[in-house]
């Protein structure tokens, strides 16, 4: 079979798809990834083939502006949440202009990708299309090719709960005009759902209810390629804590939400070894690190976390599920809508502590870390969550199910 993967235009949305793509490739299928330039390097580092599409539009400036606005609102109104859909009692026709503006990066990305994806599909003729929920051109290309479409989630399905994303249950009448016009231009029927299956790496205990055609898959940690440093093999006299802020959070939400320097300063008072993983830009913002802090750049978490006793992070779904799959107690310090939802669902498992980064003082973060290091309940809950993840069908099992679906 020929299988086309279409991720959203960020590496962190591509990485959860990699284990399934590997399984399909190992089963003898021809697997290709079609994505914008932002994901091209991540695809090549994963050992798969990239067809770069949508070069004519860079989503990042507009997307970052929207994230900046939401993050600023969240900091100013920390107890309100971020209601993307707007107040419930405001008529939709009044909200529509604001929603159109917020969806502009997704509309323009889908349009730019479709112009390249449709010709690619007509020539290469895939038997199956697997797409991220935010890649709005993915269902379209599957319809044009006349093949089944499969959605691949990255974590708790926030996009379905918002009720706004095309192809994720949103009624066609509230779609952004540009997406509806794009689908109609290619002769694709506009409807609420397209997926014959929704592949879900998020354990049920952390997931929203009511996902149609849900196909669970075991989350296999993959955080990119990298070298394993020798010091990871050496015994450490003190317990090791990982502190990370993800790979794209600072880039998308700005420096105001980068809490790592403050957290590091407070954590360093504990009798632990701290390893903080940062990107190059974040390294400049750290300042001088305390003596018990090791700073590393872009060390894949799946290499580091097995040596740690706990992790503190910004509640990105990839980081959360990686630590959960490795049975690690977690302290989540969330700031954005998606992060707050992930943190809330994770906290229900008992495997860690969820904090609102917009209202939490560093003293509360230290207290949370100290509590999970001192107690056994969180460790036991983290072990149960790991067992739940391990019990899910493997990527190979899901690959076989997709073979049957495509046939």
Confidence of residue 43 (pLDDT cuts 50, 70, 90): very high
Domain count within the chain: 2
Over the stretch 69-88, which tens digit does the pLDDT of each residue have?
A: 766 666 666 655 444 444 44
CATH number at residue 313: 3.40.50.2000
Mean pLDDT over each residue of the chain, to the nearest integer: 89
Over the stretch 263-312, which tens digit does the pLDDT of each residue have?
A: 888 888 889 999 998 876 676 677 777 788 899 988 999 999 999 999 99
For residue 60, CA distances in Å to 67, 104, 224, 329 come to 10, 11, 21, 33
In this prediction, residue 229 carries a pLDDT of 94
Same domain, 164 and 302: no
Residue with tokens 């495997």: 351
Over the stretch 147-191, which tens digit does the pLDDT of each residue have?
A: 999 999 999 998 888 888 899 999 998 899 999 999 999 999 999
Q: Distance (Å, rounded) from C-alpha 39 to C-alpha 224? A: 12
CB 274 within 8 A of CB 268: yes
Same domain, 246 and 367: yes
CB 194 within 8 A of CB 181: no
Q: Distance (Å, rounded) from C-alpha 371 to C-alpha 21? A: 39
Work out whether the CA dihedral 81, 87, 88, 94 comes out positive or negative: negative
Angle at 61 between CA 50 and CA 138, to 5 degrees: 40
In a domain, 224, yes or no: no
CB 355 within 8 A of CB 372: no
Query: What is the domain range of residue 107?
Result: 2-219+392-406
Confidence of residue 65 (pLDDT cuts 50, 70, 90): confident
Same domain, 294 and 273: yes
Over the stretch 131-148, which tens digit does the pLDDT of each residue have?
A: 999 999 999 999 999 999
Single out the residue of 353, 345, 354 nearest to residue 371, CA to CA.
Answer: 353
Residue 273 in tokens:
């070894």
């Amino acid at each position: 079979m020929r299988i086309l993967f279409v991720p959203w235009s960020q590496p962190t949305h591509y990485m959860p798809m990699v284990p399934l793509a590997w399984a399909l490739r190992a089963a003898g299928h021809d697997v290709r990834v079609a994505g914008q330039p932002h994901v091209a390097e991540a695809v090549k580092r994963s050992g798969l083939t990239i067809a770069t599409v949508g070069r004519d539009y860079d989503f990042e400036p507009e997307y970052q502006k929207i994230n900046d606005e939401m993050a600023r609102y969240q900091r100013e109104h920390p107890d309100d949440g971020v209601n993307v859909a707007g107040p419930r009692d405001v008529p939709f026709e009044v909200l529509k202009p604001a929603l159109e503006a917020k969806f502009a990066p997704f509309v323009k990305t889908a349009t730019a990708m479709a112009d390249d994806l449709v010709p690619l599909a007509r020539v290469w003729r895939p038997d199956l299309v697997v797409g991220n929920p935010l890649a709005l051109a993915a269902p379209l290309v599957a319809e044009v090719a006349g093949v089944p479409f499969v959605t691949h989630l990255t974590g708790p399905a926030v996009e379905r709960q918002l009720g706004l994303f095309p192809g994720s249950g949103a009624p066609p009448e509230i779609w952004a005009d540009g997406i509806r016009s794009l689908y109609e231009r290619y002769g694709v029927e506009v409807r609420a759902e397209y997926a014959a299956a929704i592949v879900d790496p998020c354990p049920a205990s952390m997931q929203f209810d009511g996902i149609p055609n849900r196909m669970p898959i075991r989350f296999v940690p993959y955080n990119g390629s990298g070298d394993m440093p020798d010091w990871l093999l050496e015994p450490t006299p003190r317990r090791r804590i990982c502190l990370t802020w993800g790979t794209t959070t600072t880039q998308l939400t700005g420096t105001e939400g980068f809490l790592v320097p403050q957290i590091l300063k407070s954590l360093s008072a504990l009798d632990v070894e701290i390893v903080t993983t940062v990107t190059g830009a974040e390294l400049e913002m750290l300042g001088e690190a305390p003596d018990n802090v090791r700073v590393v750049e872009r060390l894949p978490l799946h290499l580091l976390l097995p040596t740690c006793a706990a992790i503190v992070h910004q509640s990105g779904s990839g980081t959360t599920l990686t630590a959960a799959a490795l049975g690690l107690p977690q302290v989540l310090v969330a700031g954005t809508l998606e992060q707050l939802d992930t943190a809330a669902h994770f906290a229900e498992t008992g495997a860690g502590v969820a904090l609102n980064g917009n209202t939490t003082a560093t003293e509360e973060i230290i207290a949370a870390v100290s509590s999970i290091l001192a107690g056994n309940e969180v460790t036991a809950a983290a072990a149960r969550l790991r067992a739940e993840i391990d019990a899910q069908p493997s990527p190979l099992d899901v690959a076989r199910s997709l073979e049957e679906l495509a046939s």
